[in-house]
Amino acid sequence: MQPIGKLRNMTSIYLTYKGQILLLYRQGSRVVNNMWVGSAGGHFEPQEVNDARACVLRELEEELGIKEDSLEKLTLRYVSLYNKPNELRRNYYFFAELKSREDVQLKSDEGQLKWFSIEEIPNLEMPFTSHHVTRHWLKEGRLNDKFYAAISTDHDMTFLEMKEF
């Protein structure tokens, strides 16, 4: 199926702290429901179309009340493309370390927040792209500082390092 030209741009941030990762069991969403996703995330506002970082920081503050000064090493690590019927989905995946877990109130209007050891991630039910991105991050991405493109295939994703040139 050929994409019809409609794009859905989304961001997600995964917050880590001392070998743990904060995830959200998203409930009541139009796009993802009753699955584990990043700590916070969502759709771009019109003024953010060319600024994924601004989008993810806004979503983080709206959903968790966390501001950028509570983070270390905020980095865009993955951009994924996923061809769905009637739209092409583009996700921007950020990772950051929290300076302190005290900055996080485990409350969200989007669902339930929970800390996991990173070893628990492969056992969680996640959306297609989140599933593959987090597994790649566990196996390879957390061990380096590379930036990756993740392209969906039939039932998998292909990861390519995106180098500057």
Radius of gyration from C-alpha coordinates of the chain: 15
Q: Would you say residue 1 has pLDDT above 60?
A: no
- H helices of the chain, in order, are 52-64, 128-139
Tell me if 30 is assigned to some domain: yes
Nearest to 67 by CA among 54, 50, 77, 49: 54
Please give the pLDDT value at position 70. 92
The domain that holds 17 is classified in CATH as 3.90.79.10
- Residue 68 within a domain: yes
The pTM (predicted TM-score) of the whole model is 0.92
Residue 77: its H or E element: strand 71-84
What is the residue range of 43's domain? 7-161
Number of structural domains the chain divides into? 1
Position 132 scores a pLDDT of: 95
Cβ–Cβ contacts within 10 Å for residue 37, how many? 24
Q: Quote the pLDDT of residue 22.
A: 95
Write down the pLDDT at residue 28: 67
Burial 69-84 (b: 16+ CB within 10 A, else e): ebbeebebbbbbbbee
pLDDT tens across 11-64, in order?
Answer: 999 999 999 999 999 876 666 668 899 999 988 998 998 999 999 999 999 989
13 close to 59: Cβ distance less than 8 angstroms: yes
Q: What's the mean pLDDT when you consider all of the chain?
A: 89
**Model confidence over 74-102: pLDDT tens digits?**
999 999 998 877 888 899 999 999 998 87
Task: Please indicate, yes or no, if residue 85 is contained in any of the structural domains.
Answer: yes
Asked, for residue 1, whether it belongs to a domain, the answer is: no
Residue reference for tokens 């953010």: 48
* 2 belongs to a structural domain: no
